Structure 1
Amino acid sequence: MLQRDGSEAIPGTINNSGHLRQAARGATGTIYFQCGAPEPVASASDSAAKYENLAKLKALLDAGAITHGEYDAEKKKLLGN
């Protein structure tokens, strides 16, 4: 893209550190950005631990050590519902 004085204008954006980032020449399409912190992704070990704890809670319920209400409340906290 040429400006009135004959110099070339380079399309791009300025990032947070003040550096010019050039758009890829010939690129087409739309890129969408979402502001905010990324959502945490549960790892396989987190999921496994969650279900192990759920099994322990069920064992406590079956043994009569906790009530159904306590089980449901802890299950809800554990599963994030």
Structure 2
Amino acid sequence: MVKRFIAGAVCPRCGEMDKIVSYADEDQRQVRECVACGFFEKLREADGPAELQTRVTRPKQAEAQVQTIKFYPRPKKEQ
């Protein structure tokens, strides 16, 4: 776990600037914490935008089943 200071960040509780560190906790959730007053907040996971469907990302269609068929000549009508 590597704690990194966030440049220019202001603590929402004490108002101190450059006292906020950010790191990932044991559950890999992003956390921010103030080293001056002890403010602690787990950030929610942001849902990323849905990927646009293109010809490259389009889901593959199931292959059509191949089946052979036989054509028989029509029986001749008797007159």
TM-score under structure 2 normalisation?
Answer: 0.19
Q: Compare CA radii of gyration and give the structure with the larger one.
A: 2
The answer to which structure has the higher strand fraction is 2
TM-score under structure 1 normalisation?
Answer: 0.19
Q: Relative contact order (alpha carbons < 8 A, sep ≥ 6): 1 or 2 greater?
A: 2
The answer to which structure has the higher helix fraction is 1
